[in-house]
Each structure stands twice: as structure tokens, then as C-alpha cells.
Amino acid sequence: MSLEAVARKDFRDAVRSRWVLVLSALFVVLFAGPALFRFTLGIGLGEGAEATGIALLFIQLMKEGTAVLVPIIAIVVGYASITRERESGTLKLLLSLPHSRADVVVGKVLGRSAVIALPIAVGFLAAGLVLIPASSGFALASFLAFGFLTMLLGVVFVGLAVGISAAARSDREAMVGSVGAFVLFQVFWGTATSRIAGGLQEYAGLTAQNRYLVELGAKLLNPIAAYKTLADSLVFESQMQARQQLFGFFLFPDPAAQEALGQELPVVFTDPFVAALMVLWFVVPVYVGMVLFERADL
Amino acid sequence: MSAIELSGVTKRFGDVTAVNDLDLTVEEGEVFGFLGPNGAGKSTTINMILDFVRPTAGEVRVLDRDAQAESVAIRRRIGVLPEGFSVYERLTGRQHVEFAIESKELDVDPDPVLDRVGLLDDADRKAGGYSKGMAQRLALAMALVGEPELLILDEPSSGLDPAGAKEMREIVREEADRGATVFFSSHVLGQVEAVCDRVGILRAGELVAEDSIEGLRETVGSGETLRVSVDGASEEDLAAVRALEGVRGAATDGTTVTVDCESGAKTAVIGALEDAGVTVTDFTTTEASLEDLFLAYTEGAAPGDNGTGEHDSPAAGEVAE
């Protein structure tokens, strides 16, 4: 099948370029490293409840790192996937063969998704091996779910980056687009949403509860925030507590938000919806990129 | 069924018209040379046939299918050597051909085509280290995979040395003998003359000639160029020569009279000069070459106006990019 041929070729090329190897090593060090460090210091993970607590704390802390690192790596892996072939002329060789442009885009998405997902899986496997002996079943299940969630984050950003690459005419354009999206999500989104929601409360007479609901909804549109709050759902007792982590600073929730949001989480802000929003950041850019790429003169 | 059919095809890039209202038909089984100087619109035309770019107006059909809507189905049945491509640096030559085989959903051995293009010995090297000529051979090997019905080769000889260009022509011949249609572009007539059944000449986005090599030769004329060495001839002396039947043009630089005429008119030309009081000391004749015609078409002058041109230039050899 054409799609498969493109995806396989793309992935093999990444293997040959040692990307997969380097990323795997990086994720092993990153994920298993902290746990191993405890062992080398002779502290160990402790037993039972203590080990479970450590595994959960591990998720909570690690997500702060992965939420930055994984999107950046995914963008590096994906941003030039189409434009580089277009600029160098290998795309002409590729499209001289019976591949549709849609197959090229989707094939790239699959190939590059594997390039990021596989190393993440390897990293988590290594970390899991370190954590398994001591932890409870609950902690391990959470840890496994966190691994999949992190893979999803990587794949979402690969889709975003490949979609932008398909729509762009040059490497430069693709780079600006992808990095711009990342900066938007990472730096501006949070501040912008609280400003807007705050403004609505102040000038449009929104109740405090509605203001925070609007703000929560807006925050969840950001795939990085969606990832973080889904990771928190694995750690905290309720999804509401997980969502409240989006307000305030690091581990200290904003009391105003806590009070306004109460205990009842609207169904649209529950995990499945948040996950679906995250997936939209994969589907929409890939689709739009594909449509624009189909129309382009190469 | 025609292999390629363009009707009323126009392509504009912004306000630049690359191809203007082009009609072109390539019949099944023929070898068609698509000629024209660089920048004439050859690659744009081929890119429209391959659906790399879309026509602003008009219709392109390949193997009786719509070039745009059914591009993948078309590419399953054709072999393409594109222009301005590059190879995958990390893949070996053989892996490239294997990828072409996989893409065409075939199950054949890559070695025979690699052998045909002379790359078998280098097949396990990474293509990133290939020369331009080797990359060109590799792309040809990929195009040959699966015995396509139609081969589209965009400037196939670019980057090849004369020996390589000759091998390229031989492969084109072999493919035609197998029954394939071959459509290839070139800006050098010499590569085309020997292998083409028909040629089309494109200039500034328009087809200025479309004919068989024989037909073109007839257009050039059974014609000859006659060079007459004289003691002295003025423009007035040429009036009688120009008036002769079969003479297309005549010029003089004082001591040499150059006449473009049909071969039967030679004696009459010499006679007319002598009647005008010019002493003829010697004369030579040169058969008009296709190259002259090609240059005439592509450099602006209309055919027939080349009566005073230099007619002794050999067909240009292979030109590397």
C-alpha cells in the first residue's frame, strides 16, 4: 500500500539518521534517570505506599518537563518533513511514483509519529522497570497511562508540525509556523486566557463562576495544558482537582478559582472531552495541511 | 488512444505566462522529442502532465485519463525521470529502486534495471555520494521499473557525459522497441534527432513546430547552402539570383556569396552570377542541418529566413548542465 510504503521509508530514514536512537537514549535518561539516581544514592524507592507516592509525584513533576520537551522534539522531528523534500527535490522523485499527495502527508505523519512515539515508549519502559519492583498496581497503571499520554502529546505535535509543513512553501515558513504555535501555547495562551476571562468578568458582568468556567474552557483548548491536566487526572483524586491545577502557580492552586469552580465539573471539561480536544490539534492541522498541499503547485 | 493529450493548456505564474494555449498529442508507441531552449516552458508542460503543477486553463490527459483527477492511476502505468529532483542521500541506489518497486506494488528484482543503467556496481553505495550523472541514471532506473507503458523523461541527458547520453538514447530505443511510448524533453537537438519519431518545438510557451524528423527536414528543404567564391559581388548582382526559382535567400560579403536554395537550383545560381558579370572561382555546398532549423525556431527568426546563416555547424554534441 502506498501510504505504508511512504511511512515505512520515512521511518527507516529516521532510523538511519540515528534520530530514533538518540531520542530513545534521551528519553531513557530523562524518564528512568531520576529513579535510578535515587537508587545510586542508596535511598531506593521505599516500600508500598511510599513507593506509590513517589511514582505519582514522579508523574506530577515529570509532566512539567515533558510538556515542554516533547512538543519541541516533535516539532524538530516534523517541521521540515514535507518542505525539506520540496526544497531539495526529493519530493519530485517521490511523486513520480504512484503516491497521492494525501498519502505523502499521512505517510509522513505516521512515520514521524513513530519516530517520536517509539523513543518515548522505550524511555517509559526503562523507567517502568526501575519503578515496578516497589510500586503498587495503581501507581503502575497511572504510570503506564502517563506514558501513553506523553506519546499522544508527541504525536499531536508531530501532526501539527507536519500539517504546517504541508501547508508551508519553505523550511523557513514551516519553522516559523511550528515554533510560533509552540510559543503561543507555551508562553502566551495561559496569560491571554486569564486576561480575557478576567476582562469579561470585570466589564461584561460575568459571575465569578462563569468567568472561571470560560477561562477553564479556553485553557483546555491549548493542547499542552490539556496534556498537563490529563496527567494530573492520573494523580489527583478528582478530575476537578486536576483541572484546578491549571490555575495558580505550580503546586499551589489559586483559591479564587477553587472557590468559584466548586466541586462539580461540567461534563464538557471531563477527561474524555479534554482528550478529544487534544486529538483535534492533530486532526485539524493534518487535514488543513493536506488540503493546501493538494492544491499547491510544486 | 493517444498517450498524452494536451488541449488548450495555459499556465500562468502570477502575470508570467509559462505555457500559452498549447495543443499537443503524443501517439501511443512513438518516441516524441519535446524541444525548446531553456525557459521555453518544457518543464512546466511536463509538470502539468505529472500533476506537479495545475493548468490555469485547458485539459491534460494521459493514457486517456485526467492528469489531475487520476494522477495516481496514471503514475502506476508510467515511468518518470523528473527534472530538478534529488535523491535520498541516506538510501542506497538499490534501496531507491526497491522503493520504486514497492511503490508500484510489484515484486521484481531491482538488479536488472540497475544493470541496464550501469549502476549495478554502485548499487550498495549511499546515493548521497553519487555524481549528478549517477543520480540521473538512478532516477532512470526507477522510471524503468515495471515496464511502464509511457516514459516521461525531462532533460534525461543533463549531467551525463557523451557516452552516458548515448547509453540513454539506446535505452530510449530499447523501450520504444518494447512498445513503450517515450516522451522526452531536451534543449539540445543532437540528443533527439537520432531517436525521435516526432518532435515538437516549444518557444516562449508556444508550440512553433510539430512534425516528424523527415517532415522537419523537408521544411528545412531538400535545401542546401551554396557558397560561391567570387572576385567581387554586390547586392545588385544578387538580384538575378534571388529571382530564380528554388532560391530562398542570398547574401554576399563581397568575395563570398551564400545562397540558400534547393539542390536543383545550383547550376542556375552559378549561371545567374556569371551573367551578372561576376567571376566564380570556386563553390561548395552544405546540406542544411536540422540544427539550423532548430536554432531558427528557437532563436527568433522564422524558418526560411536563414538563407545567410552558417550552415556548416555540426549538430551540437551533448551538453552537460
Inter-chain contact B72–A99, Cβ cutoff 8 Å? yes
For B303-310, what is the mean pLDDT? Answer: 38
Minimum distance, in Å, between the CA of residue A5 and any CA atom of chain B: 6
Looking at the structure, do residues A155 and A198 belong to the same domain, yes or no? no
- Categorize the per-residue pLDDT at A218 as very low, low, confident or very high, splitting at 50, 70 and 90: very high
pLDDT number for residue B302 = 41
Reading phi first (left if > 0) and then psi (alpha if -120 to 50, else beta), residue B244 is in beta
Looking at the structure, do residues B122 and B185 belong to the same domain, yes or no? yes
Looking at the structure, do residues B173 and B46 belong to the same domain, yes or no? yes
CA–CA dist B113, B101 (Å, integer): 11
Question: Is it the case that residue B63 has pLDDT exceeding 60?
Answer: yes
Question: Is it the case that residue B75 has pLDDT exceeding 90?
Answer: yes
Inter-chain contact B72–A98, Cβ cutoff 8 Å? yes
Looking at the structure, do residues B245 and B226 belong to the same domain, yes or no? yes
pLDDT number for residue B312 = 37
Looking at the structure, do residues B200 and B271 belong to the same domain, yes or no? no
- Categorize the per-residue pLDDT at B296 as very low, low, confident or very high, splitting at 50, 70 and 90: low
CA–CA dist B273, B45 (Å, integer): 49
- Best interface-test mutation with A: which of B72, B94, B132, B152 has the largest number of A CBs within 10 A? B72
Residues 7 through 26 of chain B touching chain A, CB cutoff 8 Å: 13
CA–CA dist A129, A289 (Å, integer): 39
| Closest residue in chain B to residue A86, using alpha carbons only | B85
pLDDT number for residue A17 = 84
Q: Are B138 and B170 in contact (CB under 8 A)?
A: no
Of residues A249 and A76, more confidence is placed in: A76
Question: Is it the case that residue B307 has pLDDT exceeding 70?
Answer: no
CA–CA dist B89, B186 (Å, integer): 27
For residue B228, give the CATH number of its domain.
Answer: 3.30.70.1150
Choose the weakest-confidence range: A117-126, A226-235, B56-65, B235-244: B235-244
Minimum distance, in Å, between the CA of residue B106 and any CA atom of chain A: 11
Total domain count, chain A: 2
C-alpha cell, A174: 514551516
Minimum distance, in Å, between the CA of residue A168 and any CA atom of chain B: 16
Length of chain A equals 298
pLDDT number for residue B308 = 38
> DSSP per residue over A243-256, as a string?
HHTTSSBTTB--HH
Looking at the structure, do residues A120 and A58 belong to the same domain, yes or no? yes
Looking at the structure, do residues B120 and B263 belong to the same domain, yes or no? no
Minimum distance, in Å, between the CA of residue A96 and any CA atom of chain B: 6
What is the domain range of residue B280?
222-287
Of residues B127 and B157, more confidence is placed in: B127
Task: Inform me whether the C-beta atom of residue B128 falls under 8 Å from chain A C-beta atoms.
Answer: no
Judged by DSSP in three states, B252 sits in strand
- Best interface-test mutation with B: which of A97, A105, A108, A115 has the largest number of B CBs within 10 A? A97
pLDDT digits (tens, 9 = 90+) for A255-298: 888 888 888 888 889 999 999 999 999 999 999 999 999 999 98
Looking at the structure, do residues B8 and B119 belong to the same domain, yes or no? yes
Q: Where are the beta strands (DSSP E) in chain B?
A: 2-13, 16-27, 31-35, 57-62, 65-66, 78-81, 150-153, 181-186, 198-203, 206-212, 224-230, 247-252, 256-261, 280-287
Minimum distance, in Å, between the CA of residue B80 and any CA atom of chain A: 6
For residue B203, give the CATH number of its domain.
Answer: 3.40.50.300
Which residues have CB under 8 Å from A69's CB, separation 6+?
Answer: A30
Q: Which residues of B touch A106 (CB under 8 A)?
A: none
Inter-chain contact B103–A98, Cβ cutoff 8 Å? yes
Looking at the structure, do residues B163 and B202 belong to the same domain, yes or no? yes
pLDDT digits (tens, 9 = 90+) for B143-156: 999 999 999 999 99
- Give the CA-trace dihedral at B207, B212, B218, B222, to 10 degrees: 130
pLDDT number for residue B11 = 95
Sign of the four-CA dihedral B309, B313, B314, B315: negative
Q: Please, how many CA atoms are within 13 Å of residue B110, restricted to the half-sphere of its CB?
A: 25
The separation between the first and the last C-alpha atoms of chain A, rounded to the nearest angstrom, is 24
Judged by DSSP in three states, B156 sits in coil
Q: 561576376: which residue's cell?
A: B278
- Categorize the per-residue pLDDT at A45 as very low, low, confident or very high, splitting at 50, 70 and 90: low
C-alpha cell, B110: 531491482
Task: Inform me whether the C-beta atom of residue B73 falls under 8 Å from chain A C-beta atoms.
Answer: yes
Q: Are A6 and A98 in contact (CB under 8 A)?
A: no
> DSSP per residue over B98-155, as a string?
HHHHHHTT----SHHHHHHTT-GGGTTSBGGG--HHHHHHHHHHHHHTT--SEEEESS
- Categorize the per-residue pLDDT at A58 as very low, low, confident or very high, splitting at 50, 70 and 90: confident
Judged by DSSP in three states, B79 sits in strand
A63-67 long-range contacts (CB < 8 A, ≥24 apart) are A63/A146, A63/A150, A63/A227, A63/A228, A63/A231, A63/A232, A64/A228, A64/A250, A65/A30, A66/A150, A66/A153, A66/A227, A67/A153, A67/A224, A67/A227, A67/A228
pLDDT number for residue B285 = 78
| Closest residue in chain B to residue A3, using alpha carbons only | B103
pLDDT number for residue B101 = 95
pLDDT number for residue B234 = 82
pLDDT digits (tens, 9 = 90+) for B200-220: 989 888 988 888 877 877 776
Inter-chain contact B103–A13, Cβ cutoff 8 Å? no
- Backbone φ and ψ of A134, nearest 5°: -100, -30
What is the domain range of residue A261?
188-274
- Tell whether A288 is covered by a domain: no
Q: Which residues of B touch A1 (CB under 8 A)?
A: 105
- Categorize the per-residue pLDDT at A44 as very low, low, confident or very high, splitting at 50, 70 and 90: low
Looking at the structure, do residues A199 and A64 belong to the same domain, yes or no? no
Q: Which residues of B touch A16 (CB under 8 A)?
A: 90-91
Question: Is it the case that residue B321 has pLDDT exceeding 60?
Answer: no
Q: Which residues of B touch A92 (CB under 8 A)?
A: 52, 82-85
Q: Which residues of B touch A89 (CB under 8 A)?
A: 84-86
C-alpha cell, A11: 521511518
Q: Are B145 and B77 in contact (CB under 8 A)?
A: no
Of residues A43 and A24, more confidence is placed in: A24
Of A2, A89, A96, nearest to B80 by CB-CB distance is: A96
Rg, Å, chain B Cα set: 24
pLDDT number for residue B311 = 36
Minimum distance, in Å, between the CA of residue B53 and any CA atom of chain A: 4
- Tell whether A287 is covered by a domain: no
Max avg pLDDT among A235-244, B118-127, B202-211: B118-127
Task: Inform me whether the C-beta atom of residue B159 falls under 8 Å from chain A C-beta atoms.
Answer: no
Looking at the structure, do residues A18 and A127 belong to the same domain, yes or no? yes
pLDDT number for residue A46 = 60
Minimum distance, in Å, between the CA of residue B300 and any CA atom of chain A: 30
Question: Is it the case that residue A249 has pLDDT exceeding 70?
Answer: no
Of B53, B91, B104, nearest to A98 by CB-CB distance is: B104
Of A9, A92, A95, nearest to B99 by CB-CB distance is: A9
For B251-269, what is the mean pLDDT? Answer: 81
Q: Which residues of A touch B52 (CB under 8 A)?
A: 92, 95, 297-298
Question: Is it the case that residue A25 has pLDDT exceeding 70?
Answer: yes
- Tell whether A245 is covered by a domain: yes
Question: Is it the case that residue A214 has pLDDT exceeding 50?
Answer: yes
Question: Is it the case that residue B222 has pLDDT exceeding 60?
Answer: no
Residue A97 corresponds to which amino acid?
L
Looking at the structure, do residues A162 and A193 belong to the same domain, yes or no? no
Task: Inform me whether the C-beta atom of residue B85 falls under 8 Å from chain A C-beta atoms.
Answer: yes
- Tell whether A85 is covered by a domain: yes
Of B13, B84, B143, nearest to A89 by CB-CB distance is: B84
> DSSP per residue over B45-58, as a string?
HHHHHTTSS--SEE
* Average pLDDT of the residues of chain A: 88
Of residues B119 and B310, more confidence is placed in: B119
CA–CA dist B204, B300 (Å, integer): 10
pLDDT number for residue B266 = 80
Closest CA to A199 of A187, A191, A188, A211: A211
Cβ contacts from A onto B, under 8 A: 72
Looking at the structure, do residues A165 and A244 belong to the same domain, yes or no? no
Q: Which residues of A touch B87 (CB under 8 A)?
A: 90, 93
Question: Is it the case that residue A97 has pLDDT exceeding 90?
Answer: yes
Of residues B265 and A268, more confidence is placed in: A268
Question: Is it the case that residue B258 has pLDDT exceeding 90?
Answer: no
Q: Which residues of A touch B84 (CB under 8 A)?
A: 89, 92
- Categorize the per-residue pLDDT at B319 as very low, low, confident or very high, splitting at 50, 70 and 90: very low
C-alpha cell, B97: 529502486
Q: 478559582: which residue's cell?
A: A257
pLDDT number for residue B306 = 39
- Tell whether A208 is covered by a domain: yes
pLDDT number for residue A98 = 95
- Tell whether A281 is covered by a domain: no
Question: Is it the case that residue B267 has pLDDT exceeding 80?
Answer: yes
Q: How far is CA A25 from CA A20, A34, A126, in A?
A: 9, 14, 10
Of A90, A98, A297, nearest to B76 by CB-CB distance is: A98
Judged by DSSP in three states, B3 sits in strand
- Categorize the per-residue pLDDT at B290 as very low, low, confident or very high, splitting at 50, 70 and 90: low
Burial class (CB in 10 A: 0-12, 13-18, 19+), B61: buried
Question: Is it the case that residue B316 has pLDDT exceeding 70?
Answer: no
Task: Inform me whether the C-beta atom of residue B139 falls under 8 Å from chain A C-beta atoms.
Answer: yes
| β-bridge mates for residue B9, sequence order | B22
Of A90, A97, A298, nearest to B100 by CB-CB distance is: A97
| End-of-domain residue from the set A171, A201, A219 | A171
| Closest residue in chain B to residue A16, using alpha carbons only | B90
Looking at the structure, do residues B227 and B179 belong to the same domain, yes or no? no
- Best interface-test mutation with A: which of B44, B50, B102, B137 has the largest number of A CBs within 10 A? B102
Looking at the structure, do residues B183 and B68 belong to the same domain, yes or no? yes
Inter-chain contact B73–A98, Cβ cutoff 8 Å? yes
Judged by DSSP in three states, A56 sits in helix
- Tell whether B117 is covered by a domain: yes
Of residues B121 and A131, more confidence is placed in: B121
CA–CA dist A151, A119 (Å, integer): 9
- Tell whether A164 is covered by a domain: yes
C-alpha cell, B265: 537550383
Q: Determine the longest span between alpha carbons in chain A, in angstroms.
A: 63
Max avg pLDDT among A20-29, A136-145, B73-82, B298-307: B73-82
- Give this complex's ipTM: 0.85
Total domain count, chain B: 2
* Average pLDDT of the residues of chain B: 85
- Categorize the per-residue pLDDT at B172 as very low, low, confident or very high, splitting at 50, 70 and 90: very high
C-alpha cell, B225: 547552402
Sign of the four-CA dihedral A26, A32, A34, A38: negative
Q: Are A6 and A94 in contact (CB under 8 A)?
A: yes
For B82-104, what is the mean pLDDT? Answer: 94
Minimum distance, in Å, between the CA of residue B319 and any CA atom of chain A: 22
CA–CA dist A32, B230 (Å, integer): 97
Of residues B233 and A160, more confidence is placed in: A160
Question: Is it the case that residue B268 has pLDDT exceeding 70?
Answer: yes
Task: Inform me whether the C-beta atom of residue B82 falls under 8 Å from chain A C-beta atoms.
Answer: yes
Closest CA to A79 of A160, A183, A185: A160
pLDDT number for residue A135 = 62
Inter-chain contact A99–B103, Cβ cutoff 8 Å? yes
Q: Are A92 and A298 in contact (CB under 8 A)?
A: yes
